[in-house]
């Protein structure tokens, strides 16, 4: 089993999935996980997901079968129930949520892959605002945590009705901001390490 630990800097599915280790080394997780996806192809798999983690585990008793098309998509399918789970969409969402945070990865080809937040890292937890997916930025942390107006400002900090907002957990908007960071077309320079608590 391979184990990795470091700060995740995920900027998009088709870009390097950089993990910065404690000694400032870098690991590109993309080829590691793609190799795992290939090794899991056709096997019955159990999916495990949460706001701070994602996992795929080979399990013969699982109802879903894993299918991966290189350069295409990754899904879990159950032809008997005509049911599909879009692994790529769910996993990418969790990668965005965990980007900027210290994470641990455990991976064994053909058997299991688990990616989860390092519980030793203290992070600010945020709540979704109302019915949308923007998050409320508690008063004061726009300076101390988000670094508004500073050279290392978080890319997810925005201003909306009622004050500052965080877009890290907003889906398409978060991916757009990460894409701009990858292309160097945004002045902010840091992927913040906040977590999501839920909806008030």
Of 132, 105, 93, 101, nearest to 195 (Cα)?
Answer: 101
Instruction: State whether residue 93 is helix, strand or coil.
Output: helix
> What's the rounded mean pLDDT across residues 141-166?
93
- What is the pLDDT at residue 15? 85
Question: What pLDDT, in 10s, does the model give residues 41-60?
Answer: 999 999 999 999 999 999 99
At 109, the pLDDT band (50, 70, 90 cuts) reads very high
The residues, any chain, with a CB within 8 Å of residue 124's CB and separated by 6 or more, are 138, 141, 145, 194, 195
- What is the pLDDT at residue 83? 80
Q: What is the mean pLDDT of the chain?
A: 93
Q: Distance between CA atoms of 123 and 194, rounded to whole angstroms?
A: 5
Question: What pLDDT, in 10s, does the model give residues 154-198?
Answer: 999 999 878 899 999 999 999 999 999 999 999 999 999 999 999
Question: What pLDDT, in 10s, does the model give residues 52-92?
Answer: 999 999 999 999 999 999 877 899 998 777 788 999 999 99
- What is the pLDDT at residue 22? 85
Does position 95 have pLDDT exceeding 90, yes or no? Answer: yes
What is the pTM (predicted TM-score) of this model?
Answer: 0.93
């Amino acid at each position: 089993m391979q184990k990795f630990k470091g700060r995740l800097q995920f900027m998009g599915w088709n870009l390097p999935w950089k993990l910065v280790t404690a000694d400032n080394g870098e690991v590109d997780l993309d080829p590691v996980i793609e190799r795992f996806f290939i090794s899991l192809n056709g096997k019955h798999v159990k999916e495990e997901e949460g706001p701070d983690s994602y996992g795929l585990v080979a399990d013969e008793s699982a109802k879903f079968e894993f299918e991966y098309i290189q350069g295409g998509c990754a899904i879990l399918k159950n032809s008997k129930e005509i049911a599909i789970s879009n692994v790529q969409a769910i996993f990418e969402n969790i990668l965005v949520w965990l980007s900027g945070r210290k994470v641990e990865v455990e991976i064994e080809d053909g058997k299991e892959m688990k990616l989860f937040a390092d519980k030793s890292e203290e992070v600010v937890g945020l709540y979704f605002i109302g019915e949308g997916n923007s998050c409320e930025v508690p008063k004061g942390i726009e300076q101390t945590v988000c670094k508004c107006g500073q050279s290392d400002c978080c890319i997810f900090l925005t201003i909306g009705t009622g004050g500052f907002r965080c877009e890290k957990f907003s889906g398409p908007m978060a991916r757009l901001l990460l894409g701009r960071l990858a292309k160097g077309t945004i002045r902010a320079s840091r992927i913040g390490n906040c977590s999501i608590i839920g909806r008030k």
